[in-house]
Amino acid sequence: MSFVLKMIAFLELLFVVLLFSCSGTATESSSISGQLQEIEETKVGKFKIELLVNGAPNDAARILGVFGNQNFVVDSAKSDATGLFVFEADTLLHKGFYYIMLGSDNSYFQMLLDKDQDFRLETAKGDFVNSMIVTGCLDNELLYQNLKFEADFTTRLQPITAQMTGLTEGSTQHTSLKSKQEVLVAERLKHIKQFELNHPESFFTQFKLSGQNPDLTYPKKADGSLNQEAQVYQYRLAFWDMIDFNSTATLRTPVFANKLRKYIRELTPQNADSLIHYSDLLIGKSKTNKEIFKYVVNWIALEYKTPKTMGTEALYVHMIDKYWTSDLAYWSNPEEIKGLRGEMSLMKPSLIGKIGQDISATNSKGEAISLHGLKSPIKVLFIYSYDCEHCQKEAPEMVKVYNQWKNQGVDVFALCTDTDKTKWLEFVGKNRMAFHNAIDAKRASRYDHKYHIDITPELYVLDKNNKIIASNLSPNQLPEFLEAERARNPW
C-alpha cells in the first residue's frame, strides 16, 4: 500500500490509552493550519512488519500514525487464514508512535518505530498487551515490558486509591493506605529508572521519559509553610525539561499534544498576561524546530480564538501580532497573513483593559447621542440587528437587566447595525427598549472599527473611565458580572 499520509476525520479513535492518551482533533481553520505537512526527507530502508494476531483470521488492519493531536492512516493490510498480516515497503516510516487497529472490531494496540523497522509481533485478539511477543525490535520489547508493568501497577493501585476516598487525612487507616501507595509509586519510579540506566539511547526510553511529570519541589515561606505559588511556578518551568525540541519525532507521539494542553489550560493562570508570558516562553523553546514551532503557535491561537474565559482573546491577538508575519508564518500565504492581521487589528482596540472608543449616532428623534455621553459609572454597549434571531431573543433580556439595574448606576447604549429606520423603531417599541437607542445606517461612527463584532448581539461593559471591563457576555450573564464588579470596585 502507498505511504502517502491521508488525513482523515478519525472518529473511531476516540479513546484513552493508558498513560499515553491522545485527544481528538481540534477544529481548525484553513488560514491557521495545524494540518500535517511532511517536510522531512523520505528515509530509504526496509520497512517490514510481520504481525500475527491469534484470533483474527481474514481480518483487515490499519497502521495509524500520530502527529500532534491528529491521527492519520499510514498503511493497511489483510491477514491470511492464520491471522498473519504483512506490512512492507522500500521506504521507512517516520520515527514515532503508532497504533495498529483491527477492522473487525476497531480494537487496537501500540507500536514504536525508530530506525529498526524489520521485526515481528505476535499477540492475541482480546489480550494484546499480556500476550504480546516481540522479535527483533528492542523499542517494542521495552514498550511491552512497560505496558505489562503499568497494567499490573494499576490493578494494584486502584483498590488502595478507592479505599482512601473519604478517609480523613492523618487517620490511622489513611496513613497505612498512604504508605502502601507510596511503596507502589516508588516501585514504578524504579521501574522507569531502569530503562534510563540500561537503555538510555533507545527511542522507547526517550518517549517514556518525555511523558513524565517533573518532581515536585517544596519551597517554604518565611513562616515555614509551603509556598504553593512558588511550587506551581517551579513545576511549570520544569515541565518541558524532558522534551526534545530539536526533533520532529517529538510531535509524532501523543506526549507533546497532551503536555501542551496541560501546560496552557491547567498549569497557566487563565488571564491574558500569564497566558501571553508562558506561551512566549514555550514558543521560544520550540523555535529550534520549525514543525514544532508551527504546531505550538497554531494550537495556541486556535484554542484562544474563541476562548472559554473572558479576556483571554488577548492571547489570540498577541499570537497573530507576534507570530503571523511573513518571516515566521512560513505555512501561511501572504493573503492569509494579511487577513489574519486585519482581523487582529480590528480586535485590538476593544480588548478588555483598553479604553473603549466613543460612538456617536442618531437616536429616534434624529438627535446625536454618544456612548461617552452617558454619565453613569457603568455603561453597557449593546450592538444588535433587528433581523438577527439571537438579537430578537436577547433584546428582551437586555431590557430586563436594564430595568433591574438602571437605578444602581448602570446605563445602556444600544446601537442598531441595520439600515431601515422604520423597522428599527418597530423593534425598539415592540421590546420596550427604554434605554439610549441609536442607529448608524451608514457606519459614520466607524463603530465596526472601534469594537470587534464577530456576531450579533455584541456586548461590552465600560466603567466610569470608559475602560472596557467585560465583553462577549450575554444579557443574562450581566447581573452576576455586575454584582462581582461592584464588590471589587464599588461605584
**What does the pLDDT look like over 224-241, one tens digit per residue?**
999 999 999 999 999 999
Q: In the predicted model, what is the mean pLDDT of the chain?
A: 90
* Secondary structure in 3-state letters for 279-320: HHHHHHHHCCCHHHHHHHHHHHHHHHHCCCCCCCHHHHHHHH
Q: Within a domain: residue 365?
A: yes
Which of 317-323's residues contact partners 24+ apart within 8 Å by CB, and which partners?
317/344, 317/347, 317/348, 317/351, 318/272, 318/276, 318/279, 319/279, 320/344, 321/348, 322/280, 323/283, 323/297
Question: Is 271 in the same domain as 369?
Answer: no
Question: By C-alpha distance, which of 96, 50, 54 is closest to 71?
Answer: 96
* Number of compact structural domains in the chain: 4
Q: Would you say residue 216 lies in a domain?
A: no
Q: What is the pLDDT of residue 28?
A: 35
Give the tens place of pLDDT for each residue, 198-215: 999 999 999 999 999 999
Quick one: 109 and 184 in the same domain? Answer: no
pLDDT of residue 43: 63
Q: Percent of the chain, pLDDT > 70?
A: 91
Please check whether residue 221 lies inside any domain of the structure: no
**pLDDT for residue 471:** 94
pLDDT at 8 (0 to 100) = 29
pLDDT at 91 over 70: yes
Task: Give the lowest-confidence range in 29-33, 60-64, 240-244, 311-315.
Answer: 29-33
Do residues 480 and 441 both lie within one domain? yes
Q: Is residue 217 part of a domain?
A: no
Q: Is the pLDDT of residue 42 over 80?
A: no
The last residue of a domain, from among 136, 164, 181: 136
One domain for residues 379 and 340: no
pLDDT at 308: 85
Residue 223 inside a domain? The answer is no
Q: What is the CATH number of the domain that holds 95?
A: 2.60.40.1120
Please compute the mean of the pLDDT values over residues 299-316 and round it to a whole number.
Answer: 92
Distance CA 100, CA 73 (A): 10
Q: Residue 367 sits in which domain range?
A: 360-488
The C-alpha atoms of residue 428 and residue 239 are separated, in whole angstroms, by 55
Residue 461 lies in a domain: yes
End-to-end CA distance of the chain: 70
User: What pLDDT sits at residue 270?
Assistant: 94
| pTM assigned to the model | 0.82
Residue 97 belongs to a domain: yes
What does the DSSP 8-state code read for residue 452?
Answer: -
CA–CA separation, 155 and 134 (whole Å): 24
pLDDT at 417 over 60: yes
Q: How high is the pLDDT of residue 430? A: 95
Question: Same structural domain for residues 285 and 407?
Answer: no
Residue-level pLDDT at 12: 31
Please give the pLDDT value at position 17.
29
